[in-house]
A and B are shown apart, each in its own frame.
Chain A
Amino acid sequence: MVRMMLRFDNEKVHEPVTSQVILEEKIPINIMSAYVNQQGGEILIDVESENAERLAKAFRKKGVTVDVPKLIEKDDLKCTNCGACVSLCPMNALIFNADKSVELNEAVCNGITCGLCVDACPVRAIRLLG
Chain B
Amino acid sequence: MEGKNLITKNLTRNKRTIEEINNKIERSDIQVLPVSEFKKIVESKGLEVAFNEIDIVTTGTFGAMCSSGALINVGHSDPPIKIQNAWINDVPITHPGAAVDLFIGATLSSETKGFEYGGGHVIEDLVKGKNVNFRATSYGTDCYPRTEIETTLTKDDLNQFILLNFRNGYQKYSCAVNGRDEIIYTYMGKLLPKYRNASYSGAGEISPLNNDPSYEVIGLGTKIFLGGGQGYVLGEGTQHSPSTGYGTLMVKGNAKNMSPEFIRGASFTGYGPSIYIGLGIPVPLLNIEIAKKAAVRDEEIFTEVIDYGVPRLGRPVLRQVSYRELKSGKLMLNGREIKVSSMSSLQKAELICHELASWIKKGNFTLTLPIERLSNQGQPKPMRQIKGAAAFVDSILHEAVTCQENETIEIVAKRLITKNVNHIIVTDSDQKITGIVTSWDITKAIANGVRTLKEIIVRRVYTASPNEPLEVVAKRLAQHNISALPVIDETQKVLGIITSEDIAKLVGGNLNG
Which A positions have Cβ atoms within 8 angstroms of B? Answer: 80-89, 96, 99-102, 116, 119-120, 122-124
Alpha-carbon gap, A96 to B329, bound state (A): 9
Q: How far is the CA of A102 from the CA of B329 in the complex (A)?
A: 12
Which of B197, B268, B348 lies in contact with A122, CB distance below 8 A? B268
Q: How far is the CB of A117 from chain B (nearest CB, A)?
A: 8
Q: CA of A88 to CA of B338 in the docked complex: distance in angstroms?
A: 10
Give chain A's interface secondary structure class: loop
CA distance A84 to B50 in the complex (A): 35
Across the interface, B347 reaches (CB within 8 A) one of A99, A120, A123, A124, namely A99
Return the contact of A81 from the options B189, B269, B346 (Cβ within 8 A).
B346
From B63, B269, B345, A119 is in contact (CB under 8 Å) with B269
* Nearest-CB residue, chain B, relative to A94: B341
Complex alpha-carbon distance, A99 and B350, angstroms: 9
Size bracket of the B interface: 20 to 34
Chain B positions within 8 Å of A86 at CB level: 329, 339, 341
Given contacts A88-B190, A119-B190, contact A83 B197 (CB under 8 A): no
In the assembled complex, the Cα of A124 lies from the Cα of B198 at a distance in Å of 20
Encoded as 1 (CB less than 8 Å from any A CB) or 0, chain B from 255 to 280 comes to: 00000000011111100001010000
Q: Give residues in B with beta carbon < 8 Å to A.
A: 62-64, 116, 185, 189-190, 192, 197-199, 264-269, 274, 276, 329, 338-348, 350
Give the residues in chain B near A89, CB-CB below 8 Å. Answer: 339
- B276 and A80 contact, CB distance less than 8 A: yes
Residues from chain A with a CB closer than 8 A to the CB of B350 are: 99-100
User: A119 CA to B189 CA in the complex, in Å?
Assistant: 10
A80 surroundings in chain B (CB, below 8 A): 62, 264, 276, 345, 348
B343 touches which one: A82, A100, A116, A124 (CB < 8 A)? A82
Q: With A81-B348, A86-B339 in contact, do A123 and B269 touch (Cβ < 8 Å)?
A: no
| A116 contact set on B, CB distance < 8 A | 190, 192
Q: Please, how many angstroms separate the alpha-carbon atoms of A102 and B343 in the complex?
A: 12
Contacts of B276 in A (CB 8 A): 80, 82, 122-123
A123 and B345 in contact (CB under 8 A), knowing A84-B189, A87-B199? Answer: no
Which chain B residues border A99 with CB–CB below 8 Å?
347, 350
The minimal Cβ–Cβ distance linking A4 to chain B, given in whole angstroms, is: 28
Q: Are A87 and B269 within 8 A (Cβ)?
A: no
Residues of A with C-beta under 8 A to B343 = 82-84, 122
B347, A81: Cβ atoms closer than 8 Å:
yes
Which of B116, B274, B341, B345 lies at the interface centre, i.e. has the most chain A CB atoms within 10 A of its CB? B341
Q: Considering the complex, give the chain A residue whose CB is closest to the CB of B265.
A: A123
* Alpha-carbon separation in the docked complex, A82 to B64 (Å): 10
The answer to whether A122 and B339 have CB atoms under 8 Å apart is no
How far is B347's CA from A81's CA once the two chains are assembled, in angstroms? 6
Q: Are A122 and B347 in contact (CB under 8 A)?
A: no
Known: A119-B190, A120-B190, A122-B276. A83 touches B267 (CB 8 A): no
Nearest A residue (CB) for B124? A123
With A82-B276, A120-B189 already in contact, the answer to whether A87 and B268 are too (CB < 8 A) is no
Complex contacts, B341 vs chain A, CB 8 Å = 83-87, 96
Among B185, B343, B347, max chain A CB count under 10 A is at B347
Complex CA–CA separation, A119 to B115 (angstroms)? 12
B264 touches A123 (CB 8 A): yes
The CA-CA distance from A99 to B411 in the complex, in Å, is 66
User: When the two chains form their complex, are residues B345 and A81 in contact, meaning their CB atoms are under 8 A apart?
Assistant: yes
Contact, CB under 8 Å: A87 / B345:
no
Q: How far is the CA of A86 from the CA of B192 in the complex (A)?
A: 12
A100 touches B266 (CB 8 A): no
Contact partners of A87 in chain B: CB under 8 A:
197-199, 329, 338-341
Nearest Cβ on chain B to A42's Cβ, whole angstroms: 38
Contacts of A82 in B (CB 8 A): 62-63, 276, 342-345
Most chain A CB atoms below 10 A, which of B63, B329, B340? B329
The distance in angstroms between the C-alpha atoms of A81 and B344, with both chains bound, is 8
A86-B341, A87-B339 known; A122 vs B64 contact (CB < 8 Å):
yes
A120 to B264, CA, bound (A): 16
Residues in A with CB closer than 8 Å to B346 are 81, 83, 100
**Distance in angstroms between the alpha carbons of A122 and B118 in the assembled complex:** 12
Nearest Cβ distance between residue A21 and chain B, in whole angstroms? 34
Q: A124 contacts which chain B residues (CB < 8 A)?
A: 116, 267
Residue pairs across A and B with Cβ atoms less than 8 A apart, 13 shown, are A80-B264, A80-B276, A80-B348, A83-B341, A83-B345, A84-B190, A84-B341, A87-B199, A122-B64, A122-B276, A122-B343, A123-B267, A123-B276
A120 touches B269 (CB 8 A): yes
Query: Which of A81, A84, A85, A86 is most buried by chain B, counting CB atoms within 10 A of its CB?
Result: A84
Closest Cβ–Cβ distance, residue A74 to chain B (whole Å):
14
A88 to B343 Cα, complex, angstroms = 12
- Rounded to whole angstroms, the CA-CA distance of A101 and B62 in the bound complex is 13
Interface centre among A82, A84, A85 (most CB of B within 10 A): A82
